[in-house]
Structure 1
Amino acid sequence: MNLSSSRPGAVDVEAPAGHACACGHEDTEKIVLDSRTIPHAIRHATIFGALGAIQPGFALDLIASHNPLPLLGQLESSRPGDFVVSYLENGPETWTIRLTRAN
């Protein structure tokens, strides 16, 4: 399922095999959020909202136009140790960071 094809800032969701949520549809294993399409004024709030919905063991792949060190610092200050950060792509034009929920 690809939710981003018709709406800017939408999230790509791929469902894994064999894992169902309480409502009966398959839950997400991989979530991709392209922050480049989110208005700057609400970008961090949008990302934090998405991260708040991630269950332990699941991840969000964040795509950014710059190295999101300020966001990562803010995340570590507000939710220390809650996410493991892995760089999947490290610039120079696009950064992709996997944020995996630890707790």
Structure 2
Amino acid sequence: MVQQDVQLHTSQPGRAEGHTCGCAHDDADPVLDVRPIPHAIRHGAVFGAFGATPPGSSLVIVAPHDPLPLLAQLRELAPIEVGYLERGPEEWHVRITRLG
């Protein structure tokens, strides 16, 4: 069995203000870099992360190409809003916000 490290970190690209409710949780959008994940399980990894994203929250994925098929599949699961933070040519950074 081959073990690979998967990078999941938080960042706030394009956000000027932090979280201010005082509840001590992190307001940064989680970032999932799918490039090191084997292609055969890549979509499943994103579905798992998306499933843990509550309505109104976002997940940023970093992909080696424009993830249009993946976005179409996510739209079948729940209403989403998509925002491109970076559009190739080497990598795409896409913020996916779960609306419902």
Query: TM-score normalised to the size of structure 1?
Result: 0.76
Aligned-pair CA distance for 1:18: 4.1
Aligned-pair CA distance for 1:61: 0.7
Stretches of structure 2 that go unaligned for 5 or more consecutive residues are 13-17
Identity of aligned residues (%): 44
Counterpart Cα distance in 2 of 1:78 and 1:14:
25
Q: Aligned letter for 1:100?
A: T
Aligned-pair CA distance for 1:17: 3.9
Secondary structure in structure 2 of the residue aligned to 1:41: helix
- Corresponding pairs, count: 91
2:55 aligned partner: 56
Q: Aligned letter for 1:34?
A: D
Query: TM-score normalised to the size of structure 2?
Result: 0.78
What value does the CA root-mean-square deviation take over the aligned residues?
Answer: 2.1
Matched, 1:100 2:97: yes
1:45 aligned partner: 44
Aligned-pair CA distance for 1:10: 2.8
